[in-house]
Chains A and B, each alone.
Chain A
Amino acid sequence: MARDEPVPWQGEEGPYGPLGLPLVDLLDRVLGAGVVISGDLVIAIAEVPLIRLSLHALLASVSDRVPAPWADGGRL
């Protein structure tokens, strides 16, 4: 049944409820956040081998219910 309301994790307790939102949507954003400054220790984490390599583990284990991010592109 189509819901007319936004996703349920938007509760009365606050608009940005941290629990319950899909990990895949979260990773889309925390990894893809626009970059205004870069850090000292880990640089450009979203673009590079670090996360791409790390995602192997995630991609190998995502459940049937949660589609893997970036599975359709990128050189993983």
Chain B
Amino acid sequence: MSSLPPAKIIVLGLGNDICGDDGIGIAAVRILRGMLDDACIAVEESSEAGLALVEILEGYDRALILDSIRTGTCPPGTIIEMDTAQFRRVIAPSPHYAGLPEVLDLAERLELRFPSDIRVLAMEVEDPYSIREGLTPCVAEALPRFVERARSILAELRDST
């Protein structure tokens, strides 16, 4: 039996809930919040960009980030999984200021206590540019699958050693 304390896990929904499909990450964590009952898992949402992610993720051991994505290469509602190894190859001009890859590099460089395992679960969206509430139909339809996938990833993160 290990006497190590359980890993601290964060699931972070990113986006803007008054900006159409951009709010998919927020919508997902709001559902997850009602489903999860695990003291080890913090459920957070943020509409902030860039360096704010450093402050949010600092101090956790593992993280799952839920966000929208626009590749234009797959239909809206498609769920895309990335780990940070993949993500780092995309040196991103993200609206998140420096972008998640740069945030990760920064945290590493500054020797911050940062999650060693960061997964990104993103959904291809249709319209993240209109100021309005609610998701487009394809994205809304895919939301339950998105949430389910997030749950199973969280279970993996919790059970991995």
Partners in one complex: no
B: residues with CB less than 8 A from A are: none
